[in-house]
Structure 1
């Protein structure tokens, strides 16, 4: 099967766009040129829209198995495709947890059956995410899992994290950490600051995150393990990671769109669509995250797409679960509020959503080049819409961005040479 993409624009290193045609054969990009006139089974007129490498998100939640009322592999990957993502990595906080061969093999079977985009799942660091007994990292490393994490809970003891890192390093696998020291959480449901005081809610201190990162970078130095920090959120955490990188420690970090776009001041009432973990923090923290992304301390952007039912989110800050959805809104939100306002370049944004996560984890994706996998996202930068949660492909409608006016929407997504999403038109 040959597909010829005509009249596209591609982004070059200077942040400029140049006209190009792209020929895909099978699962591979075989030719990129100013003009291609070869015969193809299908020709797609891109009409001057921007053709990008497919987006990569190494931190999402698909909820299946066990949480299908919130999301399934099918609905979650359909949402990913609509958002321009071609590769996603779901976290293991499911029921059952993928912590042994049988459960991991079942998960791969489900992915093979229902996934619309490429899905690279994590396995758990500890059995049942309980933090008490290490999984068989050596055996699980042979199954094709993406890495190891107990996302949703922090590894509470240095001994457990040290042993996990030793095993991961021996198998050339990353440890991906949700950093949260339970001894200083104190039941916090939002950032400990002005909003927690105003709404009389228990505060979630910045130390809960930065303490574990400080511990873990030293363990990573001792073991040589690749240690990756999930959803970094505080200025202290950024400082620790920056210092660790300067010391030559193999540490990387991600930041979410919502922590870049919002801070605690966005929380004006008891609306749990603004409740996530880590929480929206101070303006100072938000600025530190943006600075850390710009100076390379933070490596890339990941959504932490975390769908929940509307019934759950109606319970308010004290009782609703943490998390918001993000796959379908990430690019237009960031393009509108950072690129169009000249705070970052389009090339920077695209790199943080494509080649940077690929480079960090050694993936062969994230580039628009000849001989690369045919993972493509066609974006209409001029398309303007109001975010409407009722139109989401995801089962989760829990977003703080409902009603926001944004520009720049993916209108087609291609995975391994197969069109998996195409914008509905009235033609």
Structure 2
């Protein structure tokens, strides 16, 4: 007879390549046994009858807005609680905050801020901007998962990189043993098309937003990144892919030996500029929502494994920022909240309507990210010895998303997920064996979350 801290009984475990009906024993925050015996006991028993036990989701692309002057939009206390309610157990946070993560001082500041209030575990991206170049090595050794750059405008505090600057940064990151990641949209194309539209007096709308940031601007940037990656030998990552043409380019580059992975986001599979047109600036994101046809084709690349993982690109803005007083929506910021709705929405769509198996969607929401960013085998999988990061989901229970009940700071009801019916309910989220979200309530104390340093980023990627 074995004794555990927690025994999850009668659940369907979502493993790396199958589902298995088995009991799960947890001891000291780790998975101690898969397939416990009938006489095994525990301090607490959770009955998971009718429940799928997934590895906790890992968000590869989160914007907490904290620390800094923008934390009125979101902070670690709110985002981590909302994340837990949506099945996430680890957030890899983006570096383009104020100040950006450009050296050890800014990394430690961010770690301290998150560590004081987060209820889920966390990792960090380093800044892939020129003033961070001399600090890439120390940031990598300190556990930064990868280094994020923009090929398009990201504001004065986070300058985009030109072509030769990309090559230069790739060489620095490669020498440090890291991964270089990109927001991939061609700056010249986007700037010129936007200038033409504004000078012609055209009012912003969601369709026009896609026209001034067209598919070929994203594809051109991706193709350049792949060329430079092949030249430098630097592992690269494409953030928030929105076009099937980009997924095909990545697949072909892999066949040529380029070390590249690609992330997309739930909104590119669930929404499009046609169906969400009337949301106006509340559906304004970068890269933009594409057509129904492109969105549907993107599913083919997710299902065949050409897209490696799903991030949220969670970027909440209160209503007054999205709706400027002069109604000039060219000036509205791009971004939308999604961290408590994206994962269950994708489980619903992928499993119930797109024919994916639970373990197939778990690969792109947990396993692949943990492998690529140096968190595996501690994170990303239900396996003996791993952290007991779990999300218990009732795939038969339907609920309706409402921003009013969100744990995010931004509770604006005008975004795309509002009123969405979702057949996948997260009933509990466990981080290192401790329920942090259960029965509609946060159970963990502020500061329970821990920093998870990336160990061998890229070492187990595709």
TM-score by length of 1: 0.90
Structure 1 residue 179 corresponds to structure 2 residue 184: yes
8 Å CA contact 2:206, 2:281 repeated in 1: no
8 Å CA contact 1:93, 1:150 repeated in 2: no
Q: CA RMSD in A?
A: 2.4
Corresponding residue number in structure 2 for 1:276: 285
Larger RCO (CA under 8 A, 6+ residues apart): 2
Corresponding residue number in structure 2 for 1:165: 170
Change over 3 Å in CA distance of 1:200–1:369 after alignment to 2: closer
8 Å CA contact 1:89, 1:119 repeated in 2: yes
Corresponding residue number in structure 2 for 1:231: 240
Distance in 1, Cα, partners of 2:238 & 2:305:
14
8 Å CA contact 1:199, 1:269 repeated in 2: no
Does the residue aligned with 1:248 lie in a helix, a strand or coil?
A: coil
Offset from partner CA, 1:94-133 (integer Å, 9 cap, x none):
111111221111111112211111110111111xxxx577
Distance in 2, Cα, partners of 1:148 & 1:407:
36
Q: Give unmatched runs, 5+ long, in structure 1.
A: none
8 Å CA contact 1:125, 1:135 repeated in 2: no
8 Å CA contact 1:308, 1:397 repeated in 2: no
Change over 3 Å in CA distance of 1:36–1:137 after alignment to 2: farther
Corresponding residue number in structure 2 for 1:404: 420
Alpha-carbon distance, 1:76 to partner = 0.7
Corresponding residue number in structure 1 for 2:310: 301
Corresponding residue number in structure 2 for 1:69: 72
Corresponding residue number in structure 2 for 1:146: 145
Distance in 2, Cα, partners of 1:342 & 1:240:
23
8 Å CA contact 1:155, 1:179 repeated in 2: no
Change over 3 Å in CA distance of 1:150–1:36 after alignment to 2: farther
8 Å CA contact 1:99, 1:135 repeated in 2: no
Corresponding residue number in structure 1 for 2:8: 5
Structure 1 residue 382 corresponds to structure 2 residue 384: no
Offset from partner CA, 1:115-160 (integer Å, 9 cap, x none):
111110111111xxxx577352112212221211135738431221
Alpha-carbon distance, 1:419 to partner = 1.5
Distance in 2, Cα, partners of 1:59 & 1:382:
28
8 Å CA contact 1:4, 1:21 repeated in 2: yes
Change over 3 Å in CA distance of 1:400–1:293 after alignment to 2: same
Distance in 1, Cα, partners of 2:123 & 2:89:
11
Bigger shift: residues 313-322 or 197-206: 197-206
Structure 1 residue 210 corresponds to structure 2 residue 209: no
Distance in 2, Cα, partners of 1:109 & 1:197:
41
8 Å CA contact 2:401, 2:422 repeated in 1: yes
Structure 1 residue 118 corresponds to structure 2 residue 132: no
Distance in 2, Cα, partners of 1:223 & 1:35:
53
8 Å CA contact 2:146, 2:178 repeated in 1: yes
Change over 3 Å in CA distance of 1:387–1:188 after alignment to 2: farther
Does the residue aligned with 1:370 lie in a helix, a strand or coil?
A: coil
Change over 3 Å in CA distance of 1:381–1:69 after alignment to 2: same
Distance in 2, Cα, partners of 1:280 & 1:203:
12
Corresponding residue number in structure 1 for 2:346: 334
Bigger shift: residues 66-75 or 277-286: 277-286
8 Å CA contact 1:188, 1:205 repeated in 2: no
Distance in 1, Cα, partners of 2:271 & 2:172:
37
Corresponding residue number in structure 1 for 2:57: 55
Alpha-carbon distance, 1:196 to partner = 7.1
8 Å CA contact 1:196, 1:203 repeated in 2: no
Aligned residues: 416
Corresponding residue number in structure 1 for 2:108: 105
Distance in 2, Cα, partners of 1:47 & 1:256:
30
TM-score by length of 2: 0.84
